[in-house]
């Protein structure tokens, strides 16, 4: 008899605690956002340029080589910027 009373109390208390009232909230309006499309940069613009080096006696030649490579790097960056501005 005690076992039946305890079992009845356990079942009833378990049933009442699981029936809690919950507030169901309606979601707000859907917000649409722009997609960002990423297009690859041309492979020839991503090539690494060699870095000239040499002894101290070759300093003027090395400086001229570095200057020409720097100009090529700047030209690549300008081409990338132009490519990106054309997409906007």
Domain ranges of the chain: 48-88
Q: With helix as H, strand as E and coil as C, how does 17-86 read?
A: HCCCCCCCCCCCCCCCCCCCCCCCCCHHHCCCCCCCCCCHHHHHHHHHHHHHHHHHHHHHHHHHHHHHHH
Predicted TM-score (pTM) above 0.75:
no
Asked whether the predicted pLDDT for residue 20 surpasses 70, the reply is: no
The confidence score (pLDDT) of residue 66 equals 94
* Mean pLDDT, rounded, of the chain: 82
Look at 69 and 83; give whichever has higher pLDDT. Answer: 69
Look at 28 and 80; give whichever has higher pLDDT. Answer: 80
């Amino acid at each position: 008899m005690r076992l039946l009373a305890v079992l009845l109390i356990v079942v009833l208390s378990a049933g009442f605690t699981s029936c809690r009232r919950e507030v169901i909230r309606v979601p707000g309006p859907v917000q649409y956002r722009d997609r960002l499309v990423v297009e690859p940069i041309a492979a020839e613009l991503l090539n690494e340029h060699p870095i000239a080096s040499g002894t101290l006696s070759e300093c003027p030649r090395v400086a001229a080589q570095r200057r020409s490579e720097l100009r090529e790097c700047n030209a690549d960056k300008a081409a990338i910027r132009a490519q990106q501005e054309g997409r906007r």
